[in-house]
Amino acid sequence: MRRALSYGYLVFVYLFLYVPIVVLVVYSFNDTKFSTNWQGFTLSWYGKLLTDGPLMEAFANSLIVAVTSSTIATVLGTLAAFAIYRYRFIGRKISFSFIYVSMMSPDIVMGISLLMFFILVGLSIGATTLLLAHITFCLPFVVVTVYARVSGFDSHIIDSAKDLGATELGMFRHVVMPMLMPAIIAGWLLSFTLSLDDVVVSFFTTGPSFEVLPLKIYSMVRLGIKPEINALSAVMFLVSLVTVTMAHLMIAKENK
Amino acid sequence: MERDLIVRLRGATKRFDDVVAVDSLDLDIYQGEFLTLLGPSGCGKTTVLRLIAGFESLDGGEILMNGASLDGTPPNKRNVNTVFQSYALFPHMTVFDNIAFGLKMKGFDKGVIRDEVMEALSVVKLAGLELRRPHQLSGGQQQRVAMARAIVNKPQVLLLDEPLSALDYRLRQEMEIELKHLHRKLGITFVFVTHDQEEAISMSDRIAVMNEGRLEQIGTPTEIYEEPENMFVAKFVGEINVFEGRILDVHNGSAVVDIHGRQFKVQKRKSCGIGQSVKVLLRPEDIMVYKEEEADPAYPFLPGTIEDVIYKGKTVDLIINLDAGETVHVTQFFNEDQEDVVYRHGHKIIIDWPYGWEVVL
Amino acid sequence: MRFRNVAVVLTLVWITLFVAVPYLLVVLFSFLTPNPAGTVTYTFTLESYRQIFSPVFLTVCKSSFTLALGTSALTLLVAYPFAFFLARIPENIRRTLILLMIIPFWTSSLIRTYALIILLKANGIINSFLLSAGWIDEPLGILYTQTAVFIGLVYTLLPFMILPLYASIQKLDMRLIEASRDLGARGWHIFFHIVLPLTMPGIIAGSTMVFLPALGLFYIPDLLGGARSMLMGNFIKDQFLTTGNWPLGSAASVLLTILMFLMLGWYFAVSRRANQGDMKELA
């Protein structure tokens, strides 16, 4: 009896979480422009997406930013995590605190702080500032993921590599990085998803010269429901699904 | 016999925050010897090892190797290799790649590496396992890979940080013998760290007993065991019985000591004066036990009662309450022929010991 | 040496330039005077903070806080049993269930909010269903109300409460519960005196991850609440993109950040106690 209750509750919550999304995906195939009644199956909305120039451009922009910022954030984040783990340097503890704080901070604070910074420094708000902003908010997630993994290392492994004659770089290249690979890949995947889906920070750090998909969706949604948005959302959801599943499998693999 | 000095510590000091882990230590290590650093947890023995390896830097004093100071030389440039307690094998590499790592870092050619690695594998008796991964090996096998990985680089000094502590009893006994063989075969200097005094005594050429960052005594296992220079060494290595006594008379090389009202002739090493309080130390196996009736008033003895008899297979331990009040531990070989000398709780007995077997501090 | 230097310098430079400096700017600017022509006038003033504590802003604060608190409370009530039951599920099914729970967590909140709009609007799914079933005569005007914003926040932020709670509950040592049962304690007693205190860190972490975004996510009130909805996130956004009052927006952001530090501090205090109190709780 108790078992049924707990399973039932779990199912209920899962339904609550998923039904809206499932409805969305289903309706992306609905052959109607305005009604919410089912009028038949169609792929036309997906087709319309492909022909929508500005939309596709925004999508492409988002992908480019996501891939670039994830990669740079992963490189920087891995180096930062390792440096904080291994090296004693001035500002080590403060750096880690700042990383942690920026991860916990509401996105809006990061968004406005970067906006002010970019304007003061004289950068024009567009692709460059967007990229810098995305790297900045992805960085803590990579650092935390990689740091959690590296601090679980047997500390003697690094000592051993040095003992056997490796330089710092050699030790990092041949011993540490291979052992960190699952965490590094997971960090990249998480950054990719975060970047692709980001609304708040992008809102403040990019301009009309460089449109990104979430902001485009945002402005489209404000104008009302459109079936193309359904199709687009379904696609975005699928991308998230795949990325997150892969990241999850990566992290699960390294826990073995 | 002239021995070459290979590593010398002079006034070596290392602090961690407020704790002094190594306190102005002087230590000479000779080429080719098997030296064990023995002591309780926290005595600084592992820190000394790490200082020699280069993982820690000195706060005071110096470490010299072959006459040259090691100060400032990072671990990857020292001609020293370490075998860690946890083995620290690289989990993502095969056994072959693990062992080859040091040679690869030094830039040796592939053919040379292959030969050296295969030879190291056969020395540690792991030939055929080169393509396995560490997690596919047993604890004992991992330990050998760790050894092979270190010795393949032909270091001048091999440092071993409690490498046997993770193994079970039987495996440990086997490895102790194998390590001694390896040492003899390779001819390089071994510096071994352990808290297990049996390990130390069975494997070492010399033992350095450490406590609280300082050297308590250094010598051969026999010297350490039979002639401890202070109470710490006496108590840490093996079991010891301590009798309080007072010097009554002094001669050349010997003295007469009053213990519990009886007079005993003892051998003395240091000079002592009449009336001085001393401790007379005896190992459990050095004490002789006789039945009360066998007491001969011409020779000194201490009377007592058997409190407990503990049969240990090879030996029998006797716990004796002396009439004077002290508790004494005695160990005897269990003699199946002398059935009549089986003691039991409550038996009245006397103890004494052969002259010279005691240590006077 | 060189690798070490590169890694350290890169780390320090990026964090200083793009994290530390911008945050410090926010604090700094909150004390300056707004400049309608551009950015700020470099004159020290406490005017922004005075405005923060003015009735106009306090109303915004009040409704934001009420909404955020309500969201935290509801998500907590829903998430706690969920996390608890999930932690008891056998290992093999659990892994898949966890993945299913993580997916909404990482899926764009915008898309999930949009999905809600489809459901909630006047001729949306829910209303169509209720109308055709005959349960209501007129469509429910849920969309563009505070209720819709509330639903939207709860829906979006539920996974943010589940994850930390689950992490905390999973760490719970079942032996403590067994031991207390062995000593004669009953269900409710065990829950309030052992389970709850030990999972407090998870509760606070989850609340932090719901409460703060509930204040700052401006697009949810914007899309679900219409023009009427003004919460802290919208307020800050307006200061920067509409009004051009940087100091005021910064001051509000500083307030938000102080809140975050308070909650983090609370979290650390409680988690230290929970770790030490393991055995003491049984007494």
pLDDT for position B293: 80
**Contact between C169 and C202 (Cβ < 8 Å):** yes
Structure-model confidence comparison of residues A47 and C127, the more confident one:
A47
What pLDDT band is residue C122 in, cutting at 50, 70 and 90? low
Residue B75 carries which DSSP code?
G
User: Which of B30-44, C186-200, C225-239: highest mean pLDDT?
Assistant: B30-44
pLDDT(A31) > 90: no
The alpha carbon of residue A160 is apart from the nearest alpha carbon of chain C, in Å, by 18
Domains in chain C: ranges and CATH: 56-275 (1.10.3720.10)
pLDDT for position C278: 36
Number of helices followed by number of strands (H, E) in chain C: 14, 2
In sequence order, which residues have a C-beta less than 8 Å from that of residue B217 and are 6 or more positions away? B208, B209, B223, B224, B228, B229, B230, B233
| Average pLDDT estimate for C84-93 | 85
Interface probe with A: pick from B57, B82, B165, most Cβ of A within 10 Å: B82
- With vertex at residue A97, the alpha carbon angle to CA A96 and CA A101, rounded to the nearest 5 degrees, is 120
Residue of chain A whose alpha carbon sits nearest to that of C100: A14
Helices A92-104 and C196-216 cross at an angle (nearest 10°) of 70
pLDDT(B82) > 90: yes
Residue of chain A whose alpha carbon sits nearest to that of C159: A17
- Quote the tokens at residue A20: 């809206």
Interface probe with C: pick from A13, A62, A97, most Cβ of C within 10 Å: A13
Structure-model confidence comparison of residues A68 and A253, the more confident one:
A68
| Average pLDDT estimate for C216-223 | 86
Question: Which chain C positions have a beta carbon within 8 Å of A87's beta carbon?
Answer: 4, 7-8
pLDDT for position C98: 87
In the three-class reduction of DSSP (H, G, I as helix; E, B as strand; rest coil), residue B92 is classed as coil
Residue B165 carries which DSSP code?
T
Question: Which chain B positions have a beta carbon within 8 Å of A159's beta carbon?
Answer: 53, 55, 75, 82, 84, 88
Tell whether A223 lies on the interface with C, counting CB pairs under 8 A.
no
Q: Which of A45, A43, A144 is nearest to A95 (CA)?
A: A144
Q: Which of C104, C106, C86 is nearest to C95 (CA)?
A: C86
Residue C177 carries which DSSP code?
H
| Average pLDDT estimate for A123-141 | 93
Mean pLDDT lowest among B257-261, C258-262, C265-269, C279-283: C279-283
Residue A184: half-sphere exposure toward Cβ, Cα within 13 Å: 16
pLDDT(B174) > 50: yes
pLDDT for position C276: 47
Tens digit of each residue's pLDDT (9 = 90 or more) over C42-66: 888 888 888 888 887 888 888 888 8
Residue of chain C whose alpha carbon sits nearest to that of A134: C18
Tell whether B108 lies on the interface with A, counting CB pairs under 8 A.
no
* B76, B88, B149: residue with CB nearest A167: B76
pLDDT for position C275: 66
Residue of chain A whose alpha carbon sits nearest to that of C21: A117
Mean pLDDT lowest among A158-162, C17-21, C273-277: C273-277
The alpha carbon of residue B90 is apart from the nearest alpha carbon of chain A, in Å, by 7
What pLDDT band is residue B105 in, cutting at 50, 70 and 90? very high
In the three-class reduction of DSSP (H, G, I as helix; E, B as strand; rest coil), residue B23 is classed as strand
Strand partners, B316: B311, B332
pLDDT for position A62: 93
Interface probe with A: pick from C5, C8, C9, most Cβ of A within 10 Å: C8
Phi, psi of B198 (to 5 degrees): -65, -45
pLDDT for position C277: 36
Could you give the CA distance from residue A97 to residue A22 in angstroms, rounded to a whole number?
40
What pLDDT band is residue C282 in, cutting at 50, 70 and 90? very low
What pLDDT band is residue B100 in, cutting at 50, 70 and 90? very high
Could you give the CA distance from residue B3 to residue B186 in angstroms, rounded to a whole number?
17
ipTM of the complex: 0.84
- Quote the tokens at residue B156: 């001048």
Beta-carbon separation of B92 and A178 below 8 A: yes
Mean pLDDT lowest among A19-28, C19-28, C271-280: C271-280
pLDDT(B338) > 70: no
Helices B110-123 and B95-105 cross at an angle (nearest 10°) of 130
- Kindly list the strands in the beta sheet with B241-250, ordered across the sheet, starting from the edge strand earlier in the chain: B262-267, B254-259, B241-250, B277-282, B359-360
In the three-class reduction of DSSP (H, G, I as helix; E, B as strand; rest coil), residue B182 is classed as helix
Beta-carbon separation of C88 and A214 below 8 A: no
Interface probe with A: pick from B46, B52, B55, most Cβ of A within 10 Å: B55
The alpha carbon of residue A75 is apart from the nearest alpha carbon of chain C, in Å, by 10
Question: Which chain A positions have a beta carbon within 8 Å of C115's beta carbon?
Answer: 20-21, 23-24, 233
Residue B20: half-sphere exposure toward Cβ, Cα within 13 Å: 12
Could you give the CA distance from residue A169 to residue A182 in angstroms, rounded to a whole number?
20
- Quote the tokens at residue C225: 């609440």
Q: Which residue has the tokens 């945050």?
A: C23
In sequence order, which residues have a C-beta less than 8 Å from that of residue A90 and are 6 or more positions away? none
pLDDT for position B277: 86
Structure-model confidence comparison of residues B261 and B57, the more confident one:
B57
The structure's pTM equals 0.83
**Percent of chain A predicted with pLDDT > 90:** 43
**Contact between B157 and B88 (Cβ < 8 Å):** no
What pLDDT band is residue C283 in, cutting at 50, 70 and 90? very low
Question: Which chain A positions have a beta carbon within 8 Å of B85's beta carbon?
Answer: 156
Domains in chain B: ranges and CATH: 5-236 (3.40.50.300), 241-360 (2.40.50.100)
* A84, A108, A113: residue with CB nearest C22: A113
**Contact between A118 and A129 (Cβ < 8 Å):** yes
User: Which of B47-51, C126-130, C256-260: highest mean pLDDT?
Assistant: B47-51
Question: Which chain C positions have a beta carbon within 8 Å of A168's beta carbon?
Answer: 1, 3-4
pLDDT for position A25: 87
| Average pLDDT estimate for C224-230 | 72
Q: How much is the mean pLDDT over chain A? A: 88
* B76, B77, B90: residue with CB nearest A175: B90
The alpha-carbon radius of gyration of chain C (Å, integer) is 23
**Contact between C160 and C105 (Cβ < 8 Å):** yes
Asked whether the CA dihedral B147, B153, B154, B156 is positive or negative, the reply is negative
pLDDT(A162) > 90: yes
Residue of chain B whose alpha carbon sits nearest to that of A165: B76
User: Which of A62-66, B254-258, C173-177, C272-276: highest mean pLDDT?
Assistant: A62-66
pLDDT(C163) > 90: no
DSSP B227-285: S-SSHHHHHHSS--EEEEEEEEEE-SSEEEEEETTEEEEEE-SS---TT-EEEEEE-GG
Beta-carbon separation of C108 and A27 below 8 A: no
SS in 3 state form for chain A? CHHHHHHHHHHHHHHHHHHHHHHHHHHCCECCCCCCCCCCECCHHHHHHHHCHHHHHHHHHHHHHHHHHHHHHHHHHHHHHHHHHHCCCCCHHHHHHHHHHHHHCCHHHHHHHHHHHHHHHCCCCCHHHHHHHHHHHHHHHHHHHHHHHHCCCCHHHHHHHHHCCCCHHHHHHHHHHHHHHHHHHHHHHHHHHHHHHCCHHHHHHCCCCCCCHHHHHHHHHHHCCCHHHHHHHHHHHHHHHHHHHHHHHHHHHHCC
pLDDT(A248) > 50: yes
Give me the total of CB pairs closer than 8 Å, taking one residue from chain A and one from chain C.
232
What pLDDT band is residue C279 in, cutting at 50, 70 and 90? very low
* C11, C219, C264: residue with CB nearest A79: C11
Could you give the CA distance from residue B86 to residue A138 in angstroms, rounded to a whole number?
35
| Average pLDDT estimate for A221-239 | 83
Which chains pack against B, by 3+ Cβ pairs within 8 A? A
Residues of A contacting chain B (CB within 8 angstroms)? 154, 156-157, 159-167, 170, 174-175, 178-179
| Average pLDDT estimate for B197-203 | 91
- Quote the tokens at residue B281: 């130390």
Tens digit of each residue's pLDDT (9 = 90 or more) over B107-153: 999 999 999 999 999 999 898 898 999 999 998 899 999 999 999 99
Q: Which residue has the tokens 């990669």?
A: A71
pLDDT for position C155: 92
Give the CATH number of domain A43-254.
Answer: 1.10.3720.10
| Segment 101-140 of chain A within 8 Å of chain C by CB | 101-102, 104-110, 112-117, 119-120, 132, 135-136, 139
